[in-house]
Structure formats: structure tokens, C-alpha cells
Structure 1
Amino acid sequence: MTTEVSNPASVEDLLSRRRSPLERVQHLLHGNPALSPLIVLIVAIIVFGIVSQGFLRPEALSLLVQQMAVVGTLAAGQTLIILTAGVDLSIGMAMVLASLVMAKLSFSGTPGILALLIGIAVAILTGLLNGFLVTRINLPPFIVTLGTFSIFTALSLLYAQGQTVSLDPDAFLLITGSSFTIGPVSVTWGVILMLAVFLILGFVLRNSAWGRHLYATGDDREAAQLAGISTRKLLFSAYVVAGVCVGIAAWIVCGRVGGADPNAGLNYNLLSITAVVIGGTSLFGGRGSVVGTLIGALIVQTFNSGLALAGVDPNYQVLATGILVILAVAIDQWIRRVRG
């Protein structure tokens, strides 16, 4: 007669049995940063779909996505900076400066493709400047980008002489504003360009050594240096890639509004950071994803559009965004205290 002897439970099994339901939720969210914003997005869509009858119409949803294309692209670049435990307060004004260069060159007769490339080059230069000051001069990212925010604002106003630059209806830069239909849904090429940015960055962050080193640097820069990672070059490259995202966002905004506005940058600065934070990327670095950022940008636009359709005062829309940011940071702090 034989007796079966069961294998001893693993340490992970013993720990999981001792966790309370709340601790299990904490561990689940820690391992899946995009899960909590996804839940918020689904709940928000359901609530606004009930409150506003027109919210769930295909036309309204396609317009919602079109409106968040610029913020989404900027937030993709902002994600790279925040993953390194930094922040870019100048990203919106850098986009405005690049879009003004594109629009004015195109308006003055410069071939559209050349105007686009020069504008993207200007955007990359803004990233180069921020990266140089952070990595070579060793200044804090908050202080650097706060200073360059003022610099880019002044340059934009001086370059455009405080005036909005409108583009000819046939200008090449307006391609991102043109659309095509898929059934009842209208999709602009700007949305496709934004999604391409997210797909490329998501693939690179997940599957490349550069992406893994970026997470490691944001999580613990000293440990990353001891592991042989050139953190200075890595941080510099993050600002450069963010500059590319800024240039693409400038192209999208030209197509969306039909030109460039020197006074449009402040909201974009705040909204890009808001989308990243609400999307589950930690302000302390090393944790988050561009998928979460995309969801975060959708949440911001969903609240703005949903409250507007419900006839809520615009001031309450700003209030709702502020509450979302505070809640997102509080949840991130709670998730980071995960144990075991």
C-alpha cells in the first residue's frame, strides 16, 4: 500500500494565501500598470453614455479620438521622460514653436515636405537642449524644462509676432487633418500617425535593450550605472526621441487647426503630463507603459467631451482633471508600497 506525498507549497503560494483581497488587488495593479486606467476609462464611457445620449454615437467617439491625437502624441514623448524620473514642462511650447516654423515656412512658399522636415528638426533641437542641460550641466529636469518653457514661449511669440498663422487649404501640412471613413466612423491621418508613434515606442520599450535600460535607469540610476548602463547617454537619447514626438505632434496640430497658434502651448503641457500620470506611469520613474498613456489620454478627452455634452460648466471640466491627477498619484503611491 502506497501513500501519496504532496509537494510542499512554494513560497509564492504561501504568500498569496496570506494576502488580503486588497493586497491581491495591489499586487495585480503593480504588475499591470495599465489596468487601473483601463477600468477608469470603461467606467467613464459607461457613465457618460448614460448621462449623454449622443456620447456613444460613432461620430462623437471618432471626434473624441481626433481631439486627443495631439495630446496623445505629446504624452507618448512625455512618457519617456517621466519613465526616467524626470518631467518636461516645456513640451507643449516646443510643439508650438515647431508648428509655427512649419506653418510660416509653408505660408512663405517653402515646399511642404521641406517645411515639415525643418519644423521636426526644430523640435529635435528643443529636445537636444533639454537633454544637454539635464545630462551635461547636471541640472534638475524640473528646473531645466521650466526655464526652456519660458524660452520657447518667448521665441514662439517673437517669431509669429503674437499672431496665428493660417495655412492654405491645399498645404501639404494639412494632410494629417484629412480623413477617411470606416463605416460610420471618420478617421483622420493624424490619428493614424499618433497610433503609429505608440506602436513603435511600445515595441521599442518592450523588446529592445534601450527600452529595458530606460526602465532600469528610472527605477534606480545608481544601480543602472553599476550594471554598466551609460545612463547619461540614455537620458540624453530619451529627450531626443521625445523631441521627435514633439515634431510629429506639431505636424498633427497644423493639420487639425489649419495653422499654428503661438498661445496654445500651456494646456498641452499640462494635459500631456496628466495623460501620462493618469495612465499609470509613476512620477518616480521605472514603472509604466505607453499603452497606459494612450488610455490616460483617452480618459482626459472622455471627461472633457462627456462633461461638455452633459452641459457642465467648463470650469468643472478643469476641476475633474485636477481630481483625476491627484487620485492617480495617490494610487501610484499605494501601488509602489506593494510587499512580497
Structure 2
Amino acid sequence: MQAITVVPGQPDSVGVSEVADPEASPDLLLVEGRLIGICGTDADIVEGYGWLPPGKDRLVIGHESLGAVLDAPEGSGFAAGDLVAGIVRRPDPVPCPACARGEWDFCRNGRYTERGIKELDGYGSQRWQIEPEYAIKLDPALGDCGVLIEPASVVAKAWDQTERIFARSTWRPEVALVTGAGPIGLLAAMMGVQRGLDVHVLDIVDSGPKSQLVADLGATFHTGDVHDLGLEPDVVIECTGHGPLVVDLATVVSPAAVICLTGISSGTRSVPVGADQLNKEMVLENTVVFGSVNASRANFEQAADALSHADVGWLARLISRRVPMSDFTDGLHKHPDDVKVVVDLRA
């Protein structure tokens, strides 16, 4: 069968390769690969981030998955034809206290593995196998939009952790700001609207489909400087990884606000910061800033539920471009109107 493979750190190595068919197993789901999503992590793997599976010289890429079950173990809860996606991270072999409790997204020793990223082949192949406990059954009405579950799981965790922090007091947030209108930001905005919040989305460009996608959620789209928005958000889901913006956010939020950071900075920017004043404001205002990465099974299930309650037509508009397996490299390079690029594993 065919798969998209790469040697991490060797951009010229990306391509479609012939790999062995999955060996029959009575304990694993056999899945027909339909789509994989492309995100910045995939580009990072091509450029150098990522780890080969032990004993292999190439990595099957793809961590945002969608497939249909071809064969399922008896009693697994799955059946042929089920629409499924695969969880990305696996617990470390020790395991650490977090991994031992199914919270591998909080792995304490860094020995976790991740499909398509770290020491495990991904989902970018025509067929793949998965343990039932790491597969998520999706609402069949989602169709191809089910490929959005992995990015949705990231913000499902962000919202879940944010709400846990708000539980420290009796008041509840009303105004939410999402910074960045990529797929993660748009899904974060969707989940904020689902929670009944007054949602605002800030991005650097106002061209393309993003502003209308935000408006069609019932949220408000902004560009420009965060200080000029006239907002004091109670909660911020930060999806850009832009360091200077992260610092600015701590100065514009309401008292007792929560800021969740989901973006990863790729640059080496230095900005002058009045650290003492910022510290004083955060202490006196009970501000919480925290980071969130990856997702547990519970977060994937939360994401599946959120997608099932979303407007499928709106979700479908997030998938702005499809490429065949042979054009995976082209999919790494965003076009001006791109939101989410996916690879069709059947083409």
C-alpha cells in the first residue's frame, strides 16, 4: 500500500512510498485511511522536528486522521463502516503517575510517543491499524469534517482546563477573546459560542474567508492591536504563539481572567517588558496564564461531542483545500485563502 513518509529534517525526503500492508491482528482495528489534516507540526517535522520509529529509516507522517473501519475485534464496540479518528499520544512505558491514569497529555518524564510525530508511524497511509482504546468513533453525519477532531481536541482541552480554573471562584466568564483565526482559533471560537459566551476573534488579516466564518458563528471579528479593541475579556484562548501578544494580553484582561496559551512561538523575538509592573498587575488581579498541549482521550471525546453539535456546513467551510497524497508537500505551503488543508488518502 502507499503512505506519505519522511525522514525528519530532510525536506527533500518527503514523498509517497510503498510500505507493507498491516499484518492481520485479532486485537486491532483495521481502518481505511480517508483524510489527514496538515498543520504547522507537519511542516516542523519536515524541517527537523520529529523522531523516527525505532529500527525504521522513515516516518509515516500524519497525526490528524479520519478513516472508516474495515475490520474490528469482537466486543471492541466498533464495527465495519464506523467513522473513526485516532488519538495521537501514547503513554510512556514506565509509566509516570499521569500516564498511569490516562493523562498522557500531562506526561511527567517526556517518554510518551505520538503517532506521526514521535517514534510511531502516523495515519498518512491507505490503511492503518489502531488499538480500540485509542480510536474515537465519530458521528457519521460529520462525514469528511471528522478530520477536524484532532485540532478540535486541542481546544477542547484548553476550554476544559480553563473551566476548571474558573471553578476556583463563583463568578463565571461572559466575554471571550480568541487570538488567531486559523483552524485552532476558529474551533476555539466555535466552542466558546457553544458555551454561550460573547466571543471575539482577533487576527492579523481581514481578507479571505475567516472574517465571514467568525461572523457566521455569531462572534465578532477584529484586526489590529489588542489594546484598541475596547475589550476586557474574561477568558483568552491564545492560538498564535506570538510572544509579544502574549505579554500584551496579560495587560488587557478583566480581573481574575484566565489566559490559555495553545500556540507555540517559532521565532526568537525579544520585547521590553515591565516585568515588575506586570507581576504586580497579575497578582493583584488574580490573573492566570497557563499553557496547554495535546489532548487525552477525554478531550477527544469532548471534541467529538462539540463537532456533533456544530453546523456541519460551517465545519465543511474550514476545509478549504484538498490535495492528493502526491501533493502533500504543496499542502504544507498555505495559499492566501487556506484555512485547513487536508490530504485525500484515496486520491
Give the TM-score category using the shorter length. under 0.3
Which has the higher Rg, Structure 1 or Structure 2?
1
- Pick the structure with more strand per residue: 2
Structure number with the bigger relative contact order (C-alpha 8 A, sep ≥ 6) is: 1
- Pick the structure with more helix per residue: 1
